[in-house]
């Protein structure tokens, strides 16, 4: 007997994954009922798409995606500012002269500089 399609998205036995709002469905069902699944997601639900009973993808709303994408933006901006500051300090004439001296130093001079730096730390 052929399977009947239902007019609403109600999985036969939804499996809840990690969140009370997540519904797990198979990839085949996601393909066949994408319109209904999309409406569920737009209304705030999350849909976990499985393949061979293993979670493979998650469908979330644009609002949730934007919130997740923006979550670490402040941290990233802080790191970018720190990097820019370090790079600017490395571009000074004194830093350039120091690097030039290091690259043209003899092994003996490098050894003395390493011992001096180690003594400063101790």
Residue-by-residue DSSP string for 22-52: EEEEEHHHHHHTHHHHHHHHHTT-EEEEEET
Domain coverage including residue 79 = 72-121
Residues 107 and 52 in one domain: no
- Per-residue pLDDT, 121: 87
Dihedral-angle region of residue 16 (phi above 0 means left; psi in -120 to 50 means alpha; beta otherwise): beta
Residues 22 and 53 in one domain: yes
Residues 32 and 58 in one domain: yes
Residues 2 and 49 in one domain: yes
Our count of domains for the chain comes to: 2
Residues 55 and 20 in one domain: yes
- Per-block average pLDDT, block size 10, for the chain (122 residues)? 45 44 89 92 92 94 88 87 92 90 92 92 83
Residues 67 and 86 in one domain: no
């Amino acid at each position: 007997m052929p399977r009947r399609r239902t007019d609403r998205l109600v999985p036969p036995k939804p499996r809840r994954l990690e969140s009370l709002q997540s519904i797990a469905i198979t990839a085949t069902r996601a393909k066949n009922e994408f319109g209904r699944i999309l409406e569920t997601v737009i209304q705030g639900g999350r849909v976990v798409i499985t393949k061979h009973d293993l979670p493979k993808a998650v469908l979330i709303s644009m609002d949730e995606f934007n919130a997740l994408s923006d979550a670490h933006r402040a941290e990233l901006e802080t790191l970018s500012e720190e990097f820019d500051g370090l790079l600017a300090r490395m571009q000074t004439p004194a830093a350039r002269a120091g690097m030039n001296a290091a690259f043209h130093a003899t092994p003996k001079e490098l050894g003395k500089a390493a011992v001096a730096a180690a003594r400063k730390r101790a």
